[in-house]
Structure 1
């Protein structure tokens, strides 16, 4: 009895629930500000917390990547849940030699994704969660263009009802642009040009977040080495988009949170480890 219970409560009641003696630990999946608030409440009453927060997941496309498959995977990841996912691809960092070719393939794939009524099975992109969030997303796009980005696709508020926003592609995005430095929670894809592999990795790691990342290359040994030794994130996928699996630990670092969900490490987050010594 009472092992699992759902409470439909407003955010103002969360503090009261966390502080209740019946609650022994807390985990949150949400924004970085929400995570900070929950962690502060839990810490004040010395209760363990696990935070799975926002991300600005970089996808690095190297010179030897299969560009067609990379473009498909990148677009699929960017548009997960209408782009409203912490583990959706957020920044596309492409080495200079193949930038134009990848850009064309990427835009082509984005154009194939239909926006509209989510009950229509041909639709890939439904509405954003709220009108104000859609408007905030559009403001980020407008600021990005003012900062020098070039709009290749989308970037407008559609007529009619609903919090819809079309698939949007921005190019000529630099590391000081708002769509590079902030999490973009919607179907907006910034394309960033890197001089070479080392510069691409530098750009990928230039973020306060650290949830997921991906590297695309035909050289699997190189991809594994970059994922293990160079990319700073809670997970890094090679030639695939970031996704969770109940068998594997999932979580981030830095402003993407701490602790792990799923897998053996995830189970251990929610137990108290006891040492028994018998002399």
Structure 2
């Protein structure tokens, strides 16, 4: 089987990749198991030095890697550069903090000595998405490899060029053979990989459907999973908010990566007193975004990663309008490109409210009270994050416990930061990435007791 990576902007072929044979997959998994036995014994400081080197390579070759990202999935070049640099940051963060995170935890009991030590578990399979093809991999790989585990990457087929570059980065950084391996395979090989004795855990970032399928297979073989799935984040604006600042934040929260982000703000829940002002200013800001070839500097909106994704978004727009939503801007599609679109007076039950919209579509929702705003925010099967814009910080903090999502941001878009745990609730998945929590997900927290 061959995979073709296709530039969504012009339809040209970026690269062609041949699928691994069954024998090739089996050998790489065996190699991972062998590599783990020696890799776990490499001193932590040495492992951290290699990760620092990986960060340096990323920074030295930003243009090369950014271009591949933009070619394969259509992200504006400026955003691709930022993604590569963020990967370097996460490499440095874990290299600096790993010793502290992995230190023994002394616990006082009636024993002479009792503590928890942190041992690596083996090979971790990473099933990664196309929307942040470098960042999603590095935020998993940095803590996992430094901790002494080894990694198997199964990337999305439309970004196999990025996958090969990432594997090359780790090799150039001095990571031994078998410690980080890229598999060119279709999803029909997933169960074979999970079932292999070498695979000890699985981390997946992707759709709700993919997460459910992988969790089911992993449960069959009693393998741990971490799932980071879809989102339908609410962006709540109170009466007292600084509207200009809220609009600027909202624009980035919705249109970054052409809206193709699980943590993007998708439902804008606005108090009725500021609804018209916010919607008017936001619509003008979206209208002024520059669309075009993502490889050209200054372009802010490119195509979606594939035509079928644009088709799906178009259908959600069409159905929402049929159900009474007001088309305020955009609404048209041309191939993989979908116009940045704003819908007004969106109500529960419309696709723009109830479904995850993975593209440049902003749904405007009017409410009378703060309580109604949070009630509508909770009307979602997803639970990644919520933003609240207000000048009354203390009052906003009082509502943090009322939100079931995994993140609650005040006056800022929901985003991932290496220093903070990241993950969702409900149909958005389970487990946490980043910070110390992300490193602990794939460790054997071993109790040691001395009488």
Shared fold (TM-score, shorter chain, > 0.5): yes
SS in 1 for 2:287: helix
Tell whether 2:385 aligns with 1:239.
no
Cα distance between partner residues in 1 of 2:281 and 2:274:
11
Does 2:383 correspond to 1:207?
Answer: no
Aligned residues: 275
Matched, 1:38 2:211: no
Alpha-carbon distance in structure 1 between the residues aligned to 2:341 and 2:180: 41
CA deviation map 1:122-148 (0-9, x unaligned): 211111111111111101100000000
**For residue 258 of structure 1, what is the aligned residue in structure 2?**
430
Identify the residue that residue 79 of structure 1 maps to in structure 2: 255
1:171 to 322, 344, 349: 344
CA distance in 1, matches of 2:293, 2:398: 43
Alpha-carbon RMSD? 1.0
What is the DSSP-based 3-state SS (H/G/I as helix, E as strand, rest coil) of the residue aligned with 2:382?
coil
Matches within 5 A, 1:133-144: 133-144=309-320
Instruction: Identify unmatched segments of 5+ residues in structure 1.
Output: none
Secondary structure, in 3 states, of the residue corresponding to 1:121?
A: coil
Per the alignment, in what secondary structure is the counterpart of residue 63 of structure 1? coil
Any idea what SS the aligned residue of 1:85 has? coil
| Residue deviations 1:236-256 (CA, integer Å, cap 9, x gap) | 111010110111110000000
- The structure with the largest helix share of the pair is 2
The normalised TM-score by structure 1 is: 0.96
Corresponding residue for residue 269 of structure 1: 441
Report the equivalent of 1:17: 193
SS of corresponding position for 1:5:
strand
Gaps of 5+ in 2: 1-175
TM-score, normalised by the number of residues in structure 2:
0.60
Task: Please point out which of 227, 231, 236 is paired with 1:55.
Answer: 231
Higher mean Cα deviation, 174-183 or 146-155?
174-183
Instruction: Please state whether the residue corresponding to 1:26 is helix, strand or coil.
Output: strand
CA deviation after TM superposition for structure 1 residue 3, in Å: 2.1
Q: Which residue of 2 aligns with 1:193?
A: 366
Which residue is equivalent to 1:182?
355
Q: Whose strand proportion is higher, 1 or 2?
A: 2
Q: How big is the shift at 1:195?
A: 1.2
Over residues 170-206 of structure 1, what are the superposed CA-to-partner deviations in whole Å (9 max), with x where a residue is unaligned?
0010112111000000000000001111100101111
Partner of 1:64: 240
> Does residue 146 of structure 1 match 2:322?
yes
Secondary structure in 1 matching 2:282: helix
- Return the offset for 1:277: 2.1
2:420 matched to which residue of 1? Answer: 248
CA distance in 1, matches of 2:324, 2:256: 27
CA distance in 1, matches of 2:327, 2:296: 28
Rounded to whole Å, the distance in 2 between the matches of 1:231 and 1:59 is 12
Q: Which has the higher contact order (CA 8 A, sep 6+)?
A: 1
- Aligned to 2:278, which of 73, 80, 102? 102
**2:333 counterpart SS class:** coil
